[in-house]
Amino acid sequence: MKNQYLALTFLAVVILTIGFLNHNDYYFNILNILFLKGLIVIGLSLLMGYAGQVSLGHAAFYGLGAYTSGILTAKFGWGCLPALGVAQLVTFIAALMIGLPALRLKGHYLAMATLGFGVIVYIFFKELISLTGGPSGLVGIPPLEILGKVFMESREYYFLFGGILFLALLGALHLAHSPFGRGLLAIHDSEAATVSLGYDTNRLKLIVFLLSAALAGLAGSLYAHFAMFIAPTSFTFLHSVKLVTMVVIGGVASLWGALLGAAVLTILPEVLTVFEDYDVLVFGAILVLIMIFLPEGLFKGLGKWIGQFRHKIAT
Amino acid sequence: MSELIQFIFSGLTNGAIYALIALGFTIVYNATEVINFAQGEFVMLGAMFMATFCALGLPIPLAFFLSVGIVALIGIIMERLAIYPARHASHITLIIITIGLSILIKGVAMFAWGKDPLSVPSFLGDTPIHLLGATIVPQKILVLIATLICVLLMELFFRKTMVGKAMRASAVNRLAARLVGIKVEPLVLLAFALSAATSAVAGVVISPITFATYDMGTLLGLKGFSAAVLGGLTSGLGAVVGGFVLGLLEAFAAGFISSAYKDAAAFVILILVLLLKPEGLFGKGATKKL
């Protein structure tokens, strides 16, 4: 954990430095989205890298958070915090309903069940027009208000989201290095061996799935207030796949890697605007190439390649 | 009554398409245990090539076989370039590779054909047929006939030919198949070709009804997958039955509940099957519980 604290301190310094030196709202907006994506991939990385399960429906949990918060505040005049609380509850119940039966079975039933769940939820966002505003989106979501403090500027959101991401990462790193996290990591290697060590693997997997859904829901609620507008297109199957890709790029069993993956896939499209519509093409190619040639992720994999190259030169 | 027949017919037509796609899923799954999430893109490619060849003025039968042949070739190339190099990787990795391929193929199609829907002429003209008070487009009947022929040919291939029997043997036990002298690798290639071809047939025959667009494959693929899971993923018969059941349920959901939610029907069924009967209707053996 010592190295982790060093890295965390470094991250905090970077977040604060950018926050105080930058005056460009456009950069803040990109980083805000990055922080929210970061929240989701932290959970997803725990699920995929440590519990060895994949969710193809995390955009739906993100969307459930966003729409519950958005509808309660915009249509029913609720306060932001109670709405966020209910949004967490909704996401939790949905995840429990999918996770509880799917994780009882061996194999990749969670992937299939979350895939189906994601498509259904997306259809409801699109068709439940009286509540969600339908395909044209939900407007009139108020800015975030916590204990009388209204968040208006991108910079204010930046510090809030940065702080939440930092805390989530701190928590996740602690979890990953706890007996619980080691239990999870063991599931990834051999489930039978983990059971024989006395772990209740079903419970471990379910807990980490619920946690990852809750984080996605939280990110969704925050996103709704930050953007003040949500539309179904942000919560598609493709979006779920994008989230999985972020984790994969970084290397599944690495929380830092997942964050780097989120950074790459959030910033890359902004930089490569030349691709316009074709960014999906580039993104599909990246996904396939990394999985075939660097299945351990970009960072670990490239490191290994460089190591082999050095070894070749030496001999 | 006439309304009911109309629903049943549109259910059977869509069901036939899902059946063909589901059959593609099971063929690849039996050969490799890979769930190929790019399956739907084969449907799209079939429709796209058909639209192109028809626009070039090729006769319909020639365009049909050319489209299906090219897509089968694409299936083989895909196996060689993307699945074979990663054959020792974990299941998650393989699932993600096929999802990536699906996005990649869709992107290339958008690049090559553009975003606008392409039209394909009906194979038998556009004069509707009246049957028991319902009005049916001849193309829909053709979809059913083509599906039945395709399914029968597959069944004959897997039951009667030596190669088909070898494929079934290696699906049951790959190592044992190797021991009796079956070369498994070319069979995997063949599985990808067959699976791509059946899906391409689905795309070709449905294209005059739905038009051909670069993004038509994803939803069809996911629904075909639901049908395959309903049928048990390993059984060809299950896949076909699953496809038709799904198509009919979807048509009834659209007719009696709401057409807005009809696309959700397939996925509600997928989740229900996973929760209640994970081995599907015709799957082999009970699913391993922990």
Digit-coded pLDDT (tens) for A222-270: 999 999 999 999 999 888 988 988 888 877 778 888 898 898 888 877 7
Which neighbouring-strand residues pair with A145? A150
The model's pLDDT over A127-163, given as tens digits with 9 standing for 90+, comes to 998 899 889 999 989 998 888 788 888 888 999 999 9
pLDDT score, position B289: 42
Nearest by CB to B288, which of A101, A102, A106? Answer: A106
Q: Which amino acid is at B57?
A: G
The nearest CA of chain B is from the CA of A80 a distance in Å of 30
B92–A54: do the CB atoms touch at under 8 Å?
Answer: yes
Which residue of B107, B222, B226 is in closest CB contact with A278?
Answer: B107
Please tell me if residue A292 touches chain B, with a CB cutoff of 8 Å. Answer: yes
Alpha-helix residue ranges (DSSP H) falling in B35-90: 39-55, 60-78
Q: Which CATH architecture has domain B2-276?
A: Orthogonal Bundle (1.10)
3-state secondary structure chain A: CHHHHHHHHHHHHHHHHHHHHCCCHHHHHHHHHHHHHHHHHHHHHHHHHHCCCCCCCHHHHHHHHHHHHHHHHHCCCCCHHHHHHHHHHHHHHHHHHHHHHHCCECCCHHHHHHHHHHHHHHHHHHHCHHHHCHHHCECCCCCCEECCEECCCHHHHHHHHHHHHHHHHHHHHHHHCCHHHHHHHHHHHCHHHHHHCCCCHHHHHHHHHHHHHHHHHHHHHHHHHHHCCECHHHHCHHHHHHHHHHHHHHCCCCHHHHHHHHHHHHHHHHHCHHHHHHHHHHHHHHHHHHHHHCCCCHHHHHHHHHHHHHHHHHC
Q: Which of A120, A282, A295 sits opposite B93 (nearest CB)?
A: A295
**CA A223 to CA A69: how far, in whole Å?**
10
pLDDT score for B288: 47
- The count of residues in chain B is 290
Domain that holds residue A191: 2-236
Residue at A167 is within a domain: yes
Is residue A254 domain-resident? no
Other C-beta atoms lying within 10 Å of the C-beta of residue A142: 17
Residue at A283 is within a domain: no
> Of the candidates A256, A229, A226, A230, which has an alpha carbon nearest to the alpha carbon of residue A38?
A256
Instruction: Decide: A19 and A162 in contact? Cβ < 8 Å.
Output: yes
Q: Considering the domain boundaries, does residue A99 fall inside one?
A: yes
Q: Is B100 on the interface with A (CB under 8 A)?
A: yes
What is the CB neighbour count within 10 angstroms for residue B38?
30
Do residues A214 and A45 make contact, with C-beta atoms less than 8 angstroms apart? no
Q: Is A304 inside any structural domain?
A: no
Per-residue pLDDT at B207: 92
Tokens linked to B22: 């589901």
Give me the residues of B, 170-209, that contact A with CB < 8 A: none
With respect to residue A195, please indicate whether it lies within any of the assigned structural domains.
yes
* Structural domain spans, chain B: 2-276
pLDDT digits (tens, 9 = 90+) for A261-286: 898 888 877 776 666 667 777 778 87
What are the tens digits of pLDDT across the range A170-205? 999 988 888 877 777 777 677 777 777 777 778 888
Portion 236-265 of B in contact with A at CB < 8 A: 258, 260-261, 263-264
pLDDT value of position A275: 64
- A309 inside domain: no
Confidence at residue A267, expressed as pLDDT on a 0 to 100 scale: 83
Residue B129 is predicted with a pLDDT of 80
Tell me: ipTM over 0.90: no
Could you tell me the CA-to-CA distances from B168 to A100, A189, B123, B160, B165 in Å, in that order? 34, 31, 35, 11, 5
Task: Identify which of A109, A278, A287 has the shortest CB distance to residue B274.
Answer: A109
What confidence score (pLDDT) does residue B285 get?
52
- How many C-beta atoms surround the C-beta of residue A27 within 10 A? 14
Residues A93-119: what's their mean pLDDT? Answer: 87
Is residue A20 one of the residues assigned to a domain?
yes
Q: What is the pLDDT of residues A38-86, one digit of tens each?
A: 999 999 999 988 778 889 999 999 999 999 999 999 999 898 999 999 9
Q: Could you tell me whether strands B134-136 and A145-146 are parallel, antiparallel, or unpaired per DSSP bridges? A: unpaired
Q: What confidence score (pLDDT) does residue A216 get? A: 96
Q: Which strand (E) or helix (H) includes residue B148?
A: helix B138-160
> Hey, of B29, B35, B96, which one would you mutate to test binding to chain A, going by the most A CBs within 10 A of its CB?
B96
Residuewise pLDDT in 10s, chain B (290 residues): 678 888 888 899 999 999 999 999 999 998 888 889 999 999 999 999 999 999 999 999 999 999 999 999 999 999 999 888 888 877 777 888 898 899 899 989 988 998 899 988 888 777 788 877 777 888 888 899 999 999 999 989 988 999 988 888 888 888 888 888 888 888 999 999 999 999 999 999 999 998 999 989 989 999 999 999 999 888 888 999 999 999 999 999 888 888 888 888 889 998 888 888 888 888 765 444 44
Contacts of A252 in chain B (CB under 8 A): 92
Q: Per the structure, how many domains does chain A have?
A: 1
